[in-house]
Structure 1
C-alpha cells in the first residue's frame, strides 16, 4: 500500500515548529487579498471606503452632516467628518485608548451590539485596522471635549514621525512607542466641536505600482452614498498633479430626495410609471454569541428589527437595473433581500394577471421573472443591526430572515399600489400590466419561432424582404451585410460587391429615431423591421447572438452630414435593440472617401488615383504632390454620395476587404454611451440645443451640403 503524501521539506520533517502563527496586523500584510479583495486599484478603493463607511455610519446614527474626501498631491488620502469622534478614553480590557484599539486590533469596534449603532456598514471591526496595516503611514486626529487628540502609525505600528515643518511624509524618521502610552493631545477646539480626520498613505510594498484611485469611479460611489443618506453633504476634492483640465477639482454631492431621486438618476428610458416608494419593517429573532460579564461568549436569542425601503419604476425599454444595499453598503451580487424582492414581484404580478386575465387576454400563460423585470429600475435598501455577509468585501447579504420580511413588505405595498383606485395610479398600473403581458407574449413567441430565426437557406429566402440582395455563403463568420443608404448607391454596390459573401440591404433616407419611440412604433417602422428581420436574431431581451445571419454588419452611408445622421440613427437601433451584436464587435461603419485626386503622368503611363477621406488629408496630399512637382487634374472630384462612384471605385475604396478601411463600433463605457445617445437622440431637447450651440464652432462647413 502506498504511503500518504507528506508536505515538502528540505529534510522531510514536518513538525509544529514549521507552523507560522500570524498575529494581529501581520496577518493582514501577509494576506491582504483576504481582507480587501486585491492589491490593485480595486483594493485601494476598498481601503478608502472602509474609512469613509465609518464616517457614513456616524451620519446614519444622526451624528454627522458633512464628510470631506481629499486626494492629496503628496499621494495621501484624507477623510474628514464632523461626527462624534472616535472614542479617546481607555478601553478597560486592553488598557489602550479607543483610537489605538480601533486602528490596531482586528475585530474591535463599536458595531458588535454595544448600542452605539443601530445599523451600520462596518460590521467585522477590521476596516480601520486593515487600512492601517496596509498604509506606509496613517495619521488620525480626533476632536472631542474641547481638545484635539492625535496619533500616527507606520505600517500599523503606533509611534511618532519627525516631520519637517509643514511637511508630512511616510519617509520621515519614525520612533515606535516602546510602552503603552496615553493618547497625545495635539491642540484645542471650540466647545461642542467634534469629528475625526484620517490621513493615510497606501503602502507601495503592498499595492501594485500603478494602483491609483479612479476619480470618476470614486465620484460615482460618493454620489451613490449621497442618494442613500438624504441630507448628508459629501465633498470630493482632487489635488493630485497631472489632473486633466476638464476634471473637476472639487465636487459637492447632496440629495435630499434619497433613493427616489436615485431611481430617477439611474433610469435609462422614459417611464410608464412614476417612482413608487415601498416601505415597511419586520422583526425576527436570531441566536448570537454575546460577551457576558465574565468575558465568556454565551449564545443569546436577540430580537432584531429590519427596515425595508425600496424605490422602483418601470420604463418603456427592456433593460433592468437593480441596485441593492444593506445599511448603505452596496451588495452588487445581491443576497437574501434581493431574493425576497424578486420573489414578491413574481407572486404579485402572477396574481394580478390571473385576476385580470380576461381583460388582458393572458390565457393560461404565466409571467416569468424576466418579463416583470424588463424595463424596471429599482433601488432596494434594508437596514438592520449586525447583518451577516459572505466575506469582508460584503458583496452578498446572507441573513436568511430578511428574505421573508422584504417579500411581505413588497407583496403588501405593491399590491396596494397596483390595485389603487386613484386615477393616476390606476392608469399607470394598467400600462404596467399591459407591458408585462407584452413581454410575456414576446418571450413565448420568440421561443416558438426560434428555429425560423436561424439562417435561411435558398428555399426559405422568399420569407426575407424582397429588396435584400443576399450572399451565397452559409459561413456566418465570413458573411457581411452592408446596410446601404439610398437606391442610387445600391445600384453601384450591387456591381461592386462580391456576391459570394457580401449581402446588401438598402434603406430609404432616415429611419425612425428609436431613442424616442416606443417598441411598438419601432416594430411598425418598415426600415427597422427589415433590418431586424434580415439579421434574424430577434430584438431586445430576446436577441440571440448565435442566431445572427451575418458575421459583420457594415453601415455604408455617404461621407457627409446627412450620412453621419443616418449612421447615428442606425447605431441607435443597434444600441437599444441589438446591443449584444455591438458588444461582440460585429457592427462596423464603412469609410468611403471624400475626394479623388488624379495625378497626371506624361507619356503612356496611366494616371494615378489617390483617395482621401477628409479635408485635412486632402490638403496634405495636394501639398505633398505639388512639392514633388506632380500635376493634379482639375477640378478634383469631391464625392457628395456613394452613387457618384462607379463600381470599381466603390469596390476598391469601400467594399473590397483587401483595400477598404472599416471602423469597428465599440462600447468601452456603457454608461457614457447611454448618456451620449440620450443627449443626441433622446426626448430632452434643451441639453441637445446647448450641445449644438457649444459645438457649432467645431463644424467643418465644407462638409455641409447647402
Structure 2
C-alpha cells in the first residue's frame, strides 16, 4: 500500500475533496429508485406514465382530445397526443429551446404556478427529464406554429443519431431540428424512448393488462378523452389494440367498479373550497420570496352502496391515482361516518344508548371514486401514492358532508326510500360486526372447552395440535353414528349438520349468525368470520366435508363451500378445506379365495358408473365372479364402520379433493351465479348445461 493510499484511509481524513457533486441528470442515473421507485417492471411502467401524464395534463387543461400509446416490437415506447405541443421557442434564462429545457433540466416545466396548468398530475418538473436520463435513446417531435420540430437524446444528452434504434452512432450537440411544414391548426407532441438496460433489469417489461387498466381508468376520469393502446410486441401475432372513451365520467367509473347489486343509485357529490398556503415565489429580481397564495380545491365524488360486503374506494388527485389514500380520503371517510351517525339518530334507527356505527360498517358494500383537483398538491414522494395537502381533509369533509346529508335527509320519495335502505344496511352491518366480535371472544379452543361453549353435538378429538387434527362435517345423524366408530378419535373430530344449511350468498351476515348450523361451524372452527377471520386461530388443520355421493350431497357441499368462501376464505386460500370422496358401489367377489388365496380382499370399491363398468370387464376377463346385484350406496349411512373407515376416513386408503381458490374474481362470479339472488342467469346456465348432460348418469 502506498503512502498516498494509506493516507486516504485514515479515519480522520475527510475533507471537501471527498465530496461528489452530481451535475444535471447524473443524480437520476446514480439513484433511479428515488425518482421512479425501482428498476424493475414497476419502475419502467412508471416512466411510461410520467410521459402519458404530461399528455393527460394537456387534456385536463382542455387542449387534448386523444392520446396514443404504442409498445413497439423493438422495445421502444411511444406516446402521442394532440395537445398544444411542448414550447420550442428559446427559454430566456438558459438560452435553450423549451423542448431541451423540459427534457434535460430537473424541476423545469409549466406546472410551477405560471398559469399554464391550473391543475396537473406533474408537479415537480422531473418526469420527462427523468425518463430521458434513464433512456438509451429518446426522440421527441413537436407539431407547433406550423412546423414539426424534433430533438434526440442519449441518456439525457442531446445530439443526433445516424440511424434508427438506440445502438445507432450518436453525435452529441445541442440544437433543435426544424422539419416539414404542417397546418397551423395541427399541434401535438410525440415522445419515443428506449429504456436503458444499463439501468433497468433485463426482464423489466410493461405489462399490457396493467397498461390497459390504467388507460381505462384515465379515460373514465376525463370524460371525452380517447386513449388508444397498441401492443406490437407479439412475435408472429397481430398487434393488440384497445381504445377507451367514456363520456359518463366517474359516475360511469363507479358503476364499472361495483361488484354487486345496487342498493342505491350512483350519487354524485360535488363542491369546492378555498385555502391559503405559503409558497416560495420568484420576484422580479429572481429571489424566492415566501408568499401567501389562495388555492381552490374542487371535489368530485361518485359513490353507491350495494348488497355486498367488501368496500371498493379509489382516490385520485388531478387524475393521478393515490392507492394509499391521503388527506382527501381521510376527509371523505370522516364525513361519511359523521353524517351517517347523525341521520341514524335522527331516523330513530340508532337508539341513544347504542354505540355509533364505525367506518367499517359504513364502508360495507360501498363503491366510491374520490377525486380532487387543485394546483400544486403536496404528495409524499415522486411516485405520488399519498396526498399530503392538509387542507384537502377539511374541504372534502365539508363538501361530502353537505351533499350526503342532503341525500340522506331528502324528502323526495325515491331518494327517501333509497336513503332508508342504505341506513338499514349500515345498521345491520353494525349489528353483525358486534355479534361477530362477541362470538370471537369465545372461540379460542381452550377457552371454549373451559366454558363448555362448543356445540354439544361436536364429537371432538383428543389431540390439541392444530396441524394433525381434522374436522369432518358430516351430513346427517345416521352417518354420524357410523363415523364415530370409523374415525380415529386421536385426531379426527366430527360435527353433524342437519340437511341443507342456509344459503349465505343471499342472506345477510346477521341472518347467517342466527342460523344454528352456520353458527355451529364457525364456533367449532374457532377463528372468527368475514374480515375478522384469523386463520392462525383455526382449531383444526383440515376441514373435510363428508356428504353423500348424490345430488343432495353435492348441493350440501355447494352450500358449505359458499359459507367458507364468504366468511372463512383464508382456509380455502391455504388449501385446508377438502371434500371426502365416498364410493358409489361395492363389488363383492365370490371366487376370490380360490383365485388369489384365502387372505385376498373380497371387496372392490368404485367411485363412478364408468369406473364400475370398466372394473367389471377387467374382472370378467380375469375369471373373477361377483355377487349380483352390485351394491350401490345411496348414502354414507348405508356403510358399516369398517367400510367407511377403509374408503373415506382412513388417511392410508381414502381419497380427498382439495378445494382451492386460484382466481378470486372468477370464483366470486361462479358463487354469485350459482348461489346469488339473480335467478335468470342461473336458469340460463342450467338450460344450456342440460343440453350437454348425459341422461344415463342421472340417478333416478
The TM-score with structure 1 as length reference comes to 0.86
The DSSP-based 3-state class of the residue aligned with 1:481 is strand
1:546: Cα distance to partner?
A: 5.1
With over 3 angstroms needed to count, the CA separation of the structure-2 counterparts of 1:565 and 1:443, relative to structure 1, is closer
**Matches of 2:122 and 2:614, distance apart in 1:** 62
Q: Does 1:176 align with 2:166?
A: no
With over 3 angstroms needed to count, the CA separation of the structure-2 counterparts of 1:364 and 1:140, relative to structure 1, is same
**Matches of 1:221 and 1:241, distance apart in 2:** 21
1:485: Cα distance to partner?
A: 4.2
Q: Does 1:409 align with 2:399?
A: yes
1:128: Cα distance to partner?
A: 1.5
**Matches of 1:46 and 1:87, distance apart in 2:** 24
With over 3 angstroms needed to count, the CA separation of the structure-2 counterparts of 1:160 and 1:269, relative to structure 1, is same
Counterpart position of 1:4: none
Query: Which deviates more, 40-49 or 629-638?
Result: 629-638
Counterpart position of 2:3: none
Q: Does 1:336 align with 2:330?
A: no
The DSSP-based 3-state class of the residue aligned with 2:402 is helix
**Matches of 1:146 and 1:610, distance apart in 2:** 88
Kindly provide the CA deviation profile for residues 585-638 of structure 1, in whole angstroms up to 9, marking residues without a partner as x. Answer: 533344556788999794426259887878999999999x89xx9677779988
With over 3 angstroms needed to count, the CA separation of the structure-2 counterparts of 1:111 and 1:621, relative to structure 1, is farther
Q: Does 1:256 align with 2:247?
A: yes
Check conservation: 2:428, 2:510, Cα contact below 8 A: no
The DSSP-based 3-state class of the residue aligned with 1:453 is coil
**Matches of 1:244 and 1:578, distance apart in 2:** 43
Check conservation: 1:234, 1:252, Cα contact below 8 A: yes
With over 3 angstroms needed to count, the CA separation of the structure-2 counterparts of 1:476 and 1:290, relative to structure 1, is same
Residue segments in structure 2 that go unaligned for 5+ positions in a row = 1-5
The DSSP-based 3-state class of the residue aligned with 2:442 is helix
1:140: Cα distance to partner?
A: 2.1
With over 3 angstroms needed to count, the CA separation of the structure-2 counterparts of 1:487 and 1:160, relative to structure 1, is farther
Among 311, 318, 323, the residue aligned to 2:309: 318
Counterpart position of 1:533: 523
Describe how 1:159-238 pairs up with structure 2 within 5 A. Answer: 159-163=159-163, 168-171=164-167, 173-178=168-173, 180-185=174-179, 187-238=180-231
**Matches of 1:141 and 1:616, distance apart in 2:** 69
**Matches of 2:211 and 2:186, distance apart in 1:** 28
**Matches of 2:410 and 2:404, distance apart in 1:** 10
1:194: Cα distance to partner?
A: 2.0
**Matches of 1:31 and 1:18, distance apart in 2:** 19
> How many equivalent pairs are there?
686
Q: Does 1:398 align with 2:388?
A: yes
1:336: Cα distance to partner?
A: 0.9
The DSSP-based 3-state class of the residue aligned with 1:582 is helix
1:381: Cα distance to partner?
A: 0.8
Check conservation: 1:587, 1:664, Cα contact below 8 A: yes
Query: Which deviates more, 19-28 or 142-151?
Result: 142-151
1:666: Cα distance to partner?
A: 4.3
1:212: Cα distance to partner?
A: 2.2
Counterpart position of 1:606: 600
**Matches of 1:93 and 1:621, distance apart in 2:** 91
The DSSP-based 3-state class of the residue aligned with 2:460 is coil
**Matches of 1:57 and 1:206, distance apart in 2:** 28
Describe how 1:26-37 pairs up with structure 2 within 5 A. Answer: 26-37=26-37
Kindly provide the CA deviation profile for residues 280-318 of structure 1, in whole angstroms up to 9, marking residues without a partner as x. Answer: 100111111112333222211111100001112223333
Counterpart position of 2:292: 301
The DSSP-based 3-state class of the residue aligned with 1:294 is coil
The DSSP-based 3-state class of the residue aligned with 1:402 is helix
Counterpart position of 1:121: 121
Kindly provide the CA deviation profile for residues 526-550 of structure 1, in whole angstroms up to 9, marking residues without a partner as x. Answer: 4433323333344334445455333
With over 3 angstroms needed to count, the CA separation of the structure-2 counterparts of 1:610 and 1:281, relative to structure 1, is farther
Q: Does 1:89 align with 2:104?
A: no
With over 3 angstroms needed to count, the CA separation of the structure-2 counterparts of 1:182 and 1:633, relative to structure 1, is farther
With over 3 angstroms needed to count, the CA separation of the structure-2 counterparts of 1:533 and 1:243, relative to structure 1, is farther
**Matches of 1:22 and 1:617, distance apart in 2:** 75
With over 3 angstroms needed to count, the CA separation of the structure-2 counterparts of 1:42 and 1:639, relative to structure 1, is farther
Counterpart position of 1:283: 274
Check conservation: 2:443, 2:524, Cα contact below 8 A: no
With over 3 angstroms needed to count, the CA separation of the structure-2 counterparts of 1:34 and 1:354, relative to structure 1, is same
With over 3 angstroms needed to count, the CA separation of the structure-2 counterparts of 1:146 and 1:614, relative to structure 1, is farther
1:177: Cα distance to partner?
A: 2.6
**Matches of 2:181 and 2:689, distance apart in 1:** 53
**Matches of 1:51 and 1:330, distance apart in 2:** 15
1:169: Cα distance to partner?
A: 2.5
With over 3 angstroms needed to count, the CA separation of the structure-2 counterparts of 1:643 and 1:189, relative to structure 1, is farther
Query: Which deviates more, 590-599 or 230-239?
Result: 590-599
Kindly provide the CA deviation profile for residues 157-208 of structure 1, in whole angstroms up to 9, marking residues without a partner as x. Answer: 2223333xxxx4222x222333x212342x4444422222222222222222
Kindly provide the CA deviation profile for residues 256-276 of structure 1, in whole angstroms up to 9, marking residues without a partner as x. Answer: 222122222222333322222
Q: Does 1:108 align with 2:103?
A: no
**Matches of 1:667 and 1:176, distance apart in 2:** 56
**Matches of 2:82 and 2:331, distance apart in 1:** 36
Kindly provide the CA deviation profile for residues 120-150 of structure 1, in whole angstroms up to 9, marking residues without a partner as x. Answer: 1111111112122222222222222333323
**Matches of 1:560 and 1:208, distance apart in 2:** 55
Query: Which deviates more, 68-77 or 583-592?
Result: 583-592
Query: Which deviates more, 439-448 or 394-403?
Result: 439-448
1:377: Cα distance to partner?
A: 1.9
1:654: Cα distance to partner?
A: 4.2
1:56: Cα distance to partner?
A: 1.3
Kindly provide the CA deviation profile for residues 556-591 of structure 1, in whole angstroms up to 9, marking residues without a partner as x. Answer: 345677655543432222222223443455333445
Kindly provide the CA deviation profile for residues 407-428 of structure 1, in whole angstroms up to 9, marking residues without a partner as x. Answer: 1112211111111111122222
Look at both structures and tell me which one has the larger radius of gyration over its CA atoms. 2
With over 3 angstroms needed to count, the CA separation of the structure-2 counterparts of 1:681 and 1:570, relative to structure 1, is same
1:520: Cα distance to partner?
A: 4.3
The DSSP-based 3-state class of the residue aligned with 1:367 is coil
Check conservation: 1:316, 1:519, Cα contact below 8 A: no
Query: Which deviates more, 81-90 or 593-602?
Result: 593-602
Q: Does 1:292 align with 2:283?
A: yes
**Matches of 2:131 and 2:562, distance apart in 1:** 45
Check conservation: 2:429, 2:509, Cα contact below 8 A: no
Describe how 1:49-60 pairs up with structure 2 within 5 A. Answer: 49-60=49-60
With over 3 angstroms needed to count, the CA separation of the structure-2 counterparts of 1:692 and 1:51, relative to structure 1, is farther
**Matches of 1:26 and 1:119, distance apart in 2:** 30
